[in-house]
Amino acid sequence: MDLLNTLVDKGLRRELPTREEALAVLATSDDDLLDVVAAAGKVRRHWFGRRVKLNYLVNLKSGLCPEDCSYCSQRLGSKADILKYTWLKPDEASQAAAAGLAGGAKRVCLVASGRGPTDRDVDRVSQTIKAIKEQNEGVEVCACLGLLSDGQAERLREAGADAYNHNLNTSEGTYGDITTTHTYADRVDTVQKAHAAGLSACSGLIAGMGETDEDLVDVVFSLRELDPDSVPVNFLIPFEGTPLAKEWNLTPQRCLRILAMVRFVCPDVEVRIAGGREVHLRTMQPLALHLANSIFLGDYLTSEGQAGKADLEMIADAGFEVEGADQVTLPEHRAGTAGACGSHAEAGCGSHEGAGCGSHAEAGCGSHEGGGVCGTAAVPAAGEPRTDLVAVRRRGAGTDLAPNA
């Protein structure tokens, strides 16, 4: 297919595709899907080999957010039955992070719901960052705290933060339909503040909120222009009790096309499969590793994810390898730039939840105890909502139960 050959050539040269080419990827048929994956996979392997970076989320403060982001289970007015708790103490957060690091993660993403941190909150998170780094040599830490005020990014950097996550989520043209308590420009400003402070910027999107192909291309092109080191791709979890609870618009095939389009537009950045992969990619998750070079290990912010052991088995069975702590994520030309933090590459998190960290926070999966999948249960027909795959997180941070990592 001439389109795919052109996109591979451009990806290897870091050349931006045209909007028409990006839209054409989203419009490809299911008959051409494996060709699309194979083509984008060539670009992924050129820049990242067969390495998969593992990231681990710690939800420092859950629920009770004053913002009205329609996709988020922690939003103002949410009726979702999620865990609600105030700030974890630094030693509690460090203990939670240790579980993910023991499971193979090289980056810890510290997330807190809310519009943005107060100066006292920045002090609190700074203490947490120092506690984690003192106990885990070489660990990368990304903060995801919402909108930043002047000087806060610099203070986080001084405390040892390597990266900052703040997602654009959707296109500028439709942003007001999703959130009214802050603007798209506010989000762009925070990503720019992180960049300016020398933090590795992480910013991504949420697919499946009823957006058009044009909206998806718009937000990915905007991300390319912002030039974050990491682009988390979340797939909406239609959490009961949120305004988007009935939005079940994604199929595994559509998710793969979206990831391929992101890889072609952002060929040399860390593309992370974030919240919702278990719910929407399902058994097609291994194919997505040919497109993305980063995932979250275990649970998300307010929902449960695939069992950590299953994540590791999936990576190995698909012929990939977990990226080691001594390996640099980003290609050399990016790792040496200010804010790239050399070894991470991917900064933050991208979670759709609230200020999210790459995880949309809801990505439920139910493949472990208590999860929604039951081996004997009837599987819904293709195209039907998979509410059976959405499970509220009931363990890990904020509970007395061991985390999934």
User: Which sequence positions are flagged as catalytic?
Assistant: 65, 69, 72, 109, 142, 202, 272
Q: Which H/E stretch holds residue 8? A: helix 2-12
164 Cβ contact list (under 8 Å, min separation 6):
142, 143, 144, 148, 153, 156, 190, 191, 194, 197, 199, 200, 201, 202, 347, 348
And the tokens for 312? Answer: 């590791």
Q: Is 374 annotated as a binding residue?
A: no
Q: Is 69 annotated as a binding residue?
A: yes
The neighbour count for residue 320, using CB atoms within 10 Å, is 18
Bridge partners for 337 per DSSP: none
The secondary structure of the chain in percent helix, strand, coil, rounded to multiples of 5, reads 40, 15, 50
Residue 242 and residue 78 in contact, taking contact as beta carbons nearer than 8 Å? yes
Q: Is 65 annotated as a binding residue?
A: yes
Q: Is 255 annotated as a binding residue?
A: no
DSSP three-state, residue 242: coil
Residue 294 and residue 55 in contact, taking contact as beta carbons nearer than 8 Å? yes
Side chain identity at 84, as an amino acid letter? K
Q: Is 202 annotated as a binding residue?
A: yes
End-to-end CA distance of the chain: 41
What is the rounded radius of gyration, in angstroms, for the C-alpha atoms of the chain? 19
Q: Is 72 annotated as a binding residue?
A: yes
- Residue by residue, DSSP assigns 205-240 as EEE-SS--HHHHHHHHHHHHHH--SEEEEEE----T
Side chain identity at 184, as an amino acid letter? Y
Distance from C-alpha of 319 to C-alpha of 314, rounded to nearest angstrom: 9
> Across the chain, which distance is largest between two alpha carbons, in Å?
56
Residue 212 and residue 183 in contact, taking contact as beta carbons nearer than 8 Å? no
And the tokens for 291? Answer: 């497109």
Q: Long-range contacts: 208-212, Cβ < 8 Å, 24+? A: 208/235, 208/236, 208/238, 208/247, 208/248, 208/249, 208/250, 208/276, 208/280, 209/70, 209/71, 209/170, 209/178, 209/236, 209/244, 209/247, 209/249, 210/244, 210/247, 210/249, 211/170, 211/171, 211/174
Q: Is 341 annotated as a binding residue?
A: no
Q: Which residues are annotated as a binding site for [4Fe-4S] cluster?
A: 65, 69, 72
Q: Which residues are annotated as a binding site?
A: 65, 69, 72, 109, 142, 202, 272
Q: Which residues are annotated as a binding site for [2Fe-2S] cluster?
A: 109, 142, 202, 272
